[in-house]
Amino acid sequence: MPSRLTKAVLPGLALALVVPSGEALGQDKHVHGAVAVNVAVEGNVLSLEIDAPAINVLGFEKSPRSDAEREAVASVDAWLSAGRDIAGVPRAAGCRLQSAAYVAPKLGRGHADYRPRYAFRCENPAALEWVELWALRRLKNVEKAEINVISATVQRQETLAPGNLRVSLK
């Protein structure tokens, strides 16, 4: 399968990843059950970007019709905009959430995707050996989690095994 250059922009960092055609961070196609996460380390900033179909975030993609669906949307919006329980890193890295960029997708008749972005400032970036993608625990029916990692020393794409949340940053 031919590869092509795909760019993903994270806060303060432009990523250029070579990925197989048709699997470009969810930007070219919307696939239920497939989630992409971009993880980047630049200096003392750890950036995360999640790309997930609404059906894997909420369990539905249509406009909410019941009180339970409206509550689910409100809960997800609060969680993603706050940036809490998104990821874990080694305590020694001393990372703190710096910014959360989240715009709720428009739910309606067609497909919808969630694409929140987060930046964490780390006091000791040398201790960033891994990141646990806690956000994957809250997603529904994820069959494939494709992770793109880039730092000064690493550029790789991997697929997490079901139940595995930890990604090496080395």
Residue-wise pLDDT tens digits, 94-106: 999 999 999 999 9
Distance between CA atoms of 103 and 105, rounded to whole angstroms? 6
Task: Look at residue 115 and give its three-state secondary structure.
Answer: coil
Which DSSP symbol is given to 35? E
Average pLDDT over residues 125-134: 97
Q: Is 17 in contact with 155 (CB distance < 8 Å)?
A: yes
Q: How many residues does the chain have?
A: 170
Question: pLDDT of 41-88, one tens digit each?
Answer: 999 999 999 999 999 999 999 999 999 999 999 999 999 999 999 999
Instruction: Say whether pLDDT at 19 is over 90.
Output: no
Beta bridge partner(s), residue 85: none
Instruction: Say whether pLDDT at 22 is over 60.
Output: no
pLDDT at residue 48 in the model? 98
